Amino acid sequence: MPFTRFGLHADLAKGIREMGFAAPTPIQEQTIPPALAGRDVLACAMTGSGKTAAFVLPIVHRLIKRPRGATRALVLTPTRELAAQIHAHLEDLAVHTPVTGAAVFGGVGMGPQEHALRSGVDVIVATPGRLLDHLRAPYARLASLEILVLDEADRMLDMGFLPDIRRILRQIPAKRQTLFFSATMPREIAGLAREMLHDPVTINLERKSAPAVGITQAVYPVARELKSALLCELLRRDVISEAIVFTRTKHRANRLADFVERQGFPRASARKRSKGSRRGAPACSSRPTSSRGGSTSRISPTSSTSTFPRIPTRTSIAWAAPRVPPRPGTPSRSSPPTRKGTSRRSSGRSESGCRA
């Protein structure tokens, strides 16, 4: 089905053609018609499915003929990287239209963002924390808001943003269109969706959880007091050459690290960051990025020249979704609370938007 079937404005269609998009993805095909009709949408779709264009296209189409000088659409995202990516998509698709936008996130000066809010750009793409910083000032008022988008709502839950989202909801009009996107639908997110949405069109393109290709899983039923000894035995037998070990608490991680070292295996020490530095990068990253919430740790190798395998120990909270190179073994000394706990959703992928 070509994009022409949606009846989008000619200036917007020109931007779509210039970006090389030929046919919509499934999430776009199912989301764009109800969004154009003004319906609330609850969409469960994975990162990389093209959902950015699924909400950007209806927003731009709706705002093309609206008066300028007031912010009428707000997109909330969990990270500044995603905010910048969505803003770039908006600018590319709306290049031939009068619709304007701005990205509002932390880690940069507030001056240009304040100017965008004062001048009333059409679309604001923001992270919750930085937007709340602006909303404390009298220049940041969203009284004319007509469309609210929550992108990657489950990730915002993981990062502790739900209280911030509720504060933002109290400062925007209750009468609005809401487009709600989440890769998964945990209980807290389902409850938030019920609060925010009115008679929504529900779209479920959630992919069934599955381990990554190339991962071999094994379960060793063993008494709790023998878990540490079993790990060392697997290392001695070369069943595992290198490992990242997940434990339930930081205390258990430190205790296991000490035990492994006493058995002659060099390892990296677990060191919790201070509260003020929790906005840094995932473990194994030497360059900080912008994020909030969650407990993070940094690997500090104690032996970089030993022939023994290094065993970084981490708590399950600190390493909820690390971006790390593949390792031959990743044992967990505690069973995950749910079946899905063994599989993590993909994150950080760039969305191409549409099929070319």
Strand partners, 314: 246
For the whole prediction, is pTM greater than 0.75?
Answer: no
Range list of H helices, the chain: 10-18, 26-36, 51-63, 80-93, 111-119, 128-135, 153-158, 162-169, 187-196, 227-236, 250-262
- Residue owning tokens 């949405």: 197
Blockwise average pLDDT, block size 10, the chain, 356 residues:
86 92 89 95 84 95 94 96 95 96 95 96 96 95 95 91 94 95 89 92 71 73 89 82 79 85 72 42 35 35 37 43 44 52 42 42
Give the 3-state secondary structure percentages of the chain, helix then strand then coil, rounded to 5.
Answer: 35, 15, 50
State residue 277's pLDDT score.
42
The CA radius of gyration of the chain, in Å to the nearest whole number, is 23
What does the DSSP 8-state code read for residue 355? B
State residue 355's pLDDT score.
43
Give CA–CA dist 330/68, Å, rounded. Answer: 54
Backbone angles phi, psi at 221, to 5 degrees: -65, 120
- Segment (H or E) for 203: strand 201-204
Within a 13 Å sphere around the CA of 30, how many CA atoms are in the beta-carbon half?
17
State residue 43's pLDDT score.
92
Burial class (CB in 10 A: 0-12, 13-18, 19+), 232: middle
